Amino acid sequence: MSTDEVVLRKGVYRDSVTLMRISKTLSDLDGVEVAVVAMATPLNLDLARDLGFELPAADPADLLVAVRGERAEAAHAELDALLSANAPLAAASDSEQPPLTTRSAARRTEAGVVLVSVPGEHAYAEAVDAVEAGLSVMVFSDGVPVEQEIALKDLAAEKGVLVMGPDCGTAVISGVGLGFANVLRPGPVGIVAASGTGAQQLSCLLDLAGVGVSHVLGVGGRDLSPEVGGRSANRAIAMLDEDPATELIVLVSKQPPVRPAVPAKRFVEASADLTATAEHVLKELGRPVPEWPAWPAWAGRTVTGALRGIYSGGTLCAEAGGVAGTGTFVDYGDDAYTRGRPHPMIDPTLRLEALAAVAEGDVVLMDVVLGHGADPDPAASYAHAIARCPATVVVALIGSAGDPQDLHRQAAAFREAGAAVFTSNAQAARHARSLL
């Protein structure tokens, strides 16, 4: 018999990405219908109530655990193991008080970057602490007011540090990935990105061509807006201009209305076709342009319907729609779909529902993004649904050869399920269009 188990845990905090992954793990357990593990903010409480849970009075500092199913009570034991595995680092000694603020933690470390992943209404205070301590900061959180973003970036300019974000999902600094990040070889290309998945596609194509990156510096999707004025983009470009490991700088964005300063080094602005941009960068470096890896489907179905784009990355979705020139495209990574639930790069639920709803004869075009932070085995999540799908499925597989999911194994599994697979999103879109 299905039951609800709701518990509030005092004094337990984990960042939002960790809690999203824990929620998904619990939801996937046999006998569990739905699981919500989140900080008890008003938004998360409202989302839990919308799912039918009856909730006690809670404080935003409480950890909300709401589980429904035949094994709801047993799921709490699994939760303890997951929370322990993701516990924050302990103090250096039993007698040492753990740091209680970002600034006090910064005084105990030699780190140069702080990652902020807290509810948007609290992100500004934590980011200011980091900047005041003289550290650059990556603000993974979204929902930060634009006025706070401007004030934070102005403060960073005074302190000589960089603010990546808010809503910055991807960065790679000297080979260390933050947020959703691929495993990339070191190399001469520095990327400044107002688009996370756009930076991932470009850097992965370069990696497949044997060219690495020095740094990938995300600046947040709003940085190049007229209001923010490219404050972080200009700072990031200047930093890469001074970096001896960087020979060429690429700016990735969604048609920015604000033009950033042009550096002294070779500079490329990404076009709407990121594959074309990767090929342009290779030519600038005097490197050959390879045949981008692709795995055609075993056999095609009869196409009589429409093109449906089922995406997790906003820039990839926009690129595919522009290249295909037809069809209906939905970005399930948009804030409208991710409020209070894991990003589709982590949780396939929404896109599995969309796959099940397409009509026979349609063509489905979807992205699958590999790397740290993403689904550890996306083929296992999607292959069965693709094999049962009445439509023809084309997959844009965004990843590097070094990613933990194993690019070639993922491609083989998707192809075995009946999908055509491309490492270039633009080529995937052209192939989907040709099927029509």
CA 119, chain centre distance (Å): 17
The better pLDDT of the pair 128, 95 is held by 128
d(CA 432, CA 307): 7
155 residue type, one letter: L
Domain at 102-284: CATH code? 3.40.50.261
Query: Quick one: pLDDT band at residue 433, thresholds 50, 70, 90?
Result: very high
pLDDT in tens, 187-202: 999 999 999 999 999 9
> Exposed, middle or buried, 37 (CB in 10 Å: 0-12/13-18/19+)?
buried
Query: Quick one: pLDDT band at residue 89, thresholds 50, 70, 90?
Result: low
What's the pLDDT at 300?
A: 67
Question: Is the pLDDT at 92 greater than 50, yes or no?
Answer: no
Are domains 3-85 and 294-435 of this chain identical in fold?
no
Query: Quick one: pLDDT band at residue 91, thresholds 50, 70, 90?
Result: very low
Residue 333, both tokens: 């990574």
What are the CA-CA distances from residue 252 to residues 194, 213, 262 (Å)? 6, 14, 14
What's the pLDDT at 256?
A: 75
Query: Quick one: pLDDT band at residue 51, thresholds 50, 70, 90?
Result: confident
Q: What is the rounded average pLDDT for all residues in the chain?
A: 91
226 residue type, one letter: P
What's the pLDDT at 46?
A: 86
* % of the chain surpassing 90 pLDDT: 69
The better pLDDT of the pair 48, 233 is held by 233
pLDDT in tens, 373-407: 999 999 999 999 999 999 999 999 999 999 999 99
What's the pLDDT at 370?
A: 98
Range 33-44 average pLDDT: 87
Q: Are 238 and 263 in contact (CB under 8 A)?
A: yes
Q: Which of 13-17, 343-347, 357-361 has the lowest mean pLDDT?
A: 13-17
Q: In what order do the strands lie in the sheet with 63-69?
A: 3-9, 63-69, 32-39
Domain at 294-435: CATH code? 3.40.50.261
**End-to-end CA, the chain:** 48
pTM tops 0.85, yes or no = yes
What's the pLDDT at 252?
A: 96
pLDDT in tens, 134-178: 999 999 988 899 999 999 999 999 999 999 999 999 999 999 999
Longest dimension (CA), the chain: 70
d(CA 66, CA 357): 29
What are the CA-CA distances from residue 385 to residues 305, 352, 395 (Å)? 19, 7, 13
The architecture CATH gives domain 3-85: 2-Layer Sandwich (3.30)
The better pLDDT of the pair 47, 276 is held by 276
What's the pLDDT at 121?
A: 86
**Dihedral in degrees, nearest 10, Cα atoms 399, 404, 410, 413:** -170
Query: In the chain, where are the structural domains located?
Result: 3-85, 102-284, 294-435
Q: Which of 100-114, 215-229, 282-296 has the lowest mean pLDDT?
A: 100-114
